[in-house]
Amino acid sequence: MKRIFKLCLILLTVSAMTGCVTSHYPDSSLKRSNFGGIVEVNRESYLKVSPNTLGISKNDLVNKPDVTGSQIKILWGLITLTDY
């Protein structure tokens, strides 16, 4: 029984860790992070928001003049928060 529990725990841990991806660009700064699809962060991307998502701009929430170009997708792109 303990072997099956340990095997299930290891498989669950490995499957959870494979869903988390970060990619580095040559300039050694982190540009994209993906945590199992639940949250995906694209920094300095200025990507166009898909028509299949609920797009929310930072300017709608907070009126600040600084722009970072970040895009945050929540729940596999169901909600997209943009900062541009």
User: Are 30 and 22 spatial neighbours (Cβ–Cβ below 8 Å)?
Assistant: yes
Grouping H, G, I as helix, E, B as strand and the rest as coil, residue 2 is helix
Q: How far is Cα 74 from Cα 26, in angstroms, rounded to an integer?
A: 26
As a whole number of Å, the end-to-end CA separation of the chain is: 54
Q: Output the pTM of the full model.
A: 0.58
Extents of the domains making up the chain: 22-82
Note the Cα 81 to chain centre separation in Å.
11
Element spanning 20, H or E: strand 20-24
pLDDT, mean of residues 21-47: 67
pLDDT in tens, 45-78: 888 888 888 888 887 888 777 878 888 888 888 8
- Tokens of residue 74, six digits: 């929540």
